[in-house]
Amino acid sequence: MTTSEHIEHSEHIDSDTGKLGMWLFLFTELFLFGGLFIVYAVMRSKYAADFHHAALELNVLIGATNTVVLLVSSMTVAMSLTAIQQKQKNLAIGLIFITLILAGVFMVNKYFEWGHKISLHLYPGSEVMKTLPHGEIMFFGLYYMMTGLHALHVIIGGILLTIVMMRISSGKINQEHYLLQENGALYWHLVDLIWIFLFPLLYLIT
């Protein structure tokens, strides 16, 4: 009896430390993007007029659509955790599947957005770009860097959630053991958090 209680106790600690480790990783992610936000802020105050002009090129509708897509996907992944805690296995799988579809929608939007800009020769190193004022080159450089790094996180988050979905389906993640799902959800929320700041900074403030 004493032994089993002891095991229960140490397992409890494991779950907490596993989550703590994820949070520590998320902190490093915050500073990774934070560095870019600081560069953006300083460059924006230095080249205010150029940034204003360049930001007009961005499509607010696509940006807003992707904001809504990520917010809804954040909710579905949070709900999948509720589902697994309440033993609703199929619902949990379904909700993660919807999250993955929304991640796909986000990436397709991004593809059209970047594709349009590249067709206008607005990409780092193009001949058109070289003729632009220094501040506009800076804006587009930061735009591609920040949204590109963010899109990379969307892809990684998608892969992570696919693994989570497969483990729920095989029963490795269940009502008792769902640390990986919690951490996958935390990662996905981080992707959402970063976009919440990217959207107003790049698309709205012109």
Residues contributing to the site for another protein (CB under 8 A)? 8, 11-12, 14-16, 18-20, 23, 27, 30-31, 34, 37-38, 41-42, 45, 60, 64, 67-68, 71-72, 74-75, 78-79, 81-82, 85-86, 176-179, 182, 185-186, 189, 192-193, 196-197, 199-201, 204-206
The nearest distance, CB 76 to another protein, in angstroms, is 9
Residue whose CB is less far from another protein, 64 or 159 = 64
Q: Which is nearer to another protein, 68 or 155 (CB)?
A: 68
Buried b (16+ CB within 10 A) or exposed e, 35-47: ebbeebeebbeeb
In angstroms, give the least distance from the CB of 189 to another protein. 5
CA dist 166 and 174 (Å) reads 12
Residues 122 and 119: their CA atoms lie apart, in Å, by: 7
Closest to another protein by CB, 159 vs 196, is 196
Residue 23 φ then ψ, to 5°: -65, -40
105 versus 129: smaller Cβ distance to another protein:
105
Minimum CB–partner distance for residue 195 and another protein (Å)? 10
Within 13 Å of residue 2, how many CA atoms lie on the same side as its CB?
0
Cβ atoms of 185 and 76 within 8 Å: the answer is: no
DSSP 8-state secondary structure symbol assigned to residue 176: S
